[in-house]
Structure 1
Amino acid sequence: MHLSKRPKKAANDFSVLLRTVLGEDRFPVDVTSLAMEVSKNFEDPISRIEGIEIDGFEGMLRANRKKPAWRILFNTTTRYPGRERFTLAHEFGHYVMHRRPLTAADYANGAGPTGLDFECSPLQSNRWKESDREREEEADTFASFLLMPIDDYRQQVSGREITRSLLNHVTNRYGVSLLAAVRKWIDFTEQRAAMVVARDGFALWGRASERALRSGIFITSGMEIPTLSIAARGPDAQRGNAETPISLEANVWGFQRGNDPVRELTIFSHRLGLSISLLLFDAPATPEPEEVYEADTYDVLAG
């Protein structure tokens, strides 16, 4: 069995396989069964998948020390099944795209190879080399497309307003975190939209849709959250409406090329101490410049 090294192609190949075998009722994806079954086709299969408490790491892909095989470990301290599922899919992505295949020759001297493990922690993202950052983003992309195939996601939200209930439906269908579900929508929507994850009045990270980026909407890490936004004012500012986006005046959320009116849907996570804001810009954008801005923050898909 040939495994693609391109994250979207590899994930889509598995989605086709799952749809063929399991039909439309294949969600949430059972990553453990998929990884174990697929890897049986290789000399160095995944022999063990285990959830443990790992200090400082989201997950690991570790080479077996005694035989050609691999183990996947994922952090269970988060207590969020959606986050754990994404981490497991991320590590499977490393196995599919980035591992150095092991053979019996690697164990001929009685000791297994070293230096081949993948230890993944978003806390260290600012210390990564560029090659490591690219590898981690590829594993994230693989996990996103494996767990939430783009064609199926589009069917779930097509023609519907983005609401808290719709987002809950998506997270339940795919078994992912709210952050993963919102980021996925931002990545494929044709609307001018952005998401902002904040704590203590400042943005931790954010992401804007392609149309939003082209019109100068750019979320930077450390950006101060506007005092008149729902995110800054807290749940009471929703006036009992935590279900649908709330219309705000044009000067509340200001960005590089204008201060358009915006509708804001903010979800507050008291357990994580975060606010997750979805910003919808309904007004026609100013003429779009040719350049596309890229976000400069690493997108941590916390649960």
Structure 2
Amino acid sequence: MGHHLQPGDQLPGRIRFTLAHELGHYLVHRHLQASFNCSEVDTTQWDSDERKIEFEANTFASYLLMPADDYRRQIQGATIDLDVLGACADRYGVSMTSAILKWLELTPQRAVLVMSQNGIVQWACGSESGKWLSMHLNKRLANVQRRPLPAMSATRLDTDTNVDRLGTPIDARIWFPQETDGMVAREMRIASDFYRQTMTLLVLPPEVKPWERDKTDDDDDGLENTFDRFVRNGQPPVR
């Protein structure tokens, strides 16, 4: 069974994931075909329309390189940011993308990883509770074009600073107009000059269901919402 290296495979994290991915093909799929030519797109776009066998090889690689129980121990009690996830990437010898995608698989939090290029969303992958959010970002526009990054997002506004590892609090409706008033997301980002892409990680509070929104409107108990709390603590979110 042969593997053909593609541009970008020379990065250490990519090499490890590619080798684990190909081992998955050998162990699981060698009865289906003799050779696999896996591109960077195949092995990073876990939430795309790739073939079933590519998804299975990716899953095999992620569990081989990043055992779920050990990963959970690394992040237990931590406030998730790109420093924490970067430490996981270093521990397992994988790329930041792979480490984030693994966290999304494990976390109960609403979170979405967005990969963009030249201000255009290339793909988005959500956690289990963030699937609807990623579907919104992956949905093509009426003209079948990919969705641009929101004009007021920190990723678009702070183009001179291509790294924000801890995150900027922003109004969640900037990215997701259907979210409730006062919902605050945390937006982290890091740019890759090598791939000419920007990686944005969005973490949101638990979803407020429509019936809960109605109850909140009817029974205002005077408790401050997340948005007000950020402002009170001297962290005015981007609006």
Q: Give % identity.
A: 34
Q: Look up the SS of the partner of 2:83 in the other structure.
A: helix
Answer yes or no: is the 8 Å Cα contact 1:198–1:276 preserved in 2.
Answer: yes
1:267 partnered with 2:190: yes
1:85 alignment partner AA: R
Query: How big is the shift at 1:191?
Result: 0.5
| TM-score, scaled to structure 1 | 0.58
1 or 2, which has the higher helix percentage? 2
Answer yes or no: is the 8 Å Cα contact 1:196–1:276 preserved in 2.
Answer: yes
Matches within 5 A, 1:237-276: 242-255=164-177, 260-276=183-199
Structure 1 residue ranges without an equivalent (≥5): 1-60, 63-71, 102-114, 126-130, 289-303
CA distance in 1, matches of 2:198, 2:133: 24
Answer yes or no: is the 8 Å Cα contact 1:216–1:255 preserved in 2.
Answer: no
The verdict on how the C-alpha distance between 1:198 and 1:77 changes in structure 2, with shifts beyond 3 A counting, is closer
Matches within 5 A, 1:9-158: 61-62=1-2, 74-75=5-6, 77-100=8-31, 116-122=34-40, 133-158=51-76
How many residue pairs match? The answer is 199
Please give the root-mean-square deviation of Cα atoms over the aligned residues, in Å: 2.9
| TM-score, scaled to structure 2 | 0.73
Deviations 1:62-114 (A, max 9, x none): 2xxxxxxxxx554475431101111111100011101139xxxxxxxxxxxxx
Query: How big is the shift at 1:188?
Result: 1.2
Q: Look up the SS of the partner of 1:160 in the other structure.
A: coil
Structure 2 residue ranges without an equivalent (≥5): 44-48, 140-145, 212-239
Matches within 5 A, 1:288-303: none
Q: 1:210 matched to which residue of 2?
A: 128
Structure of larger gyration radius: 1
Q: 2:108 matched to which residue of 1?
A: 190
1:160 partnered with 2:78: yes
* Residue from 190, 208, 215 that aligns with 1:285: 208
User: Which sits farther off after the overlay, 214-223 or 132-141?
Assistant: 214-223
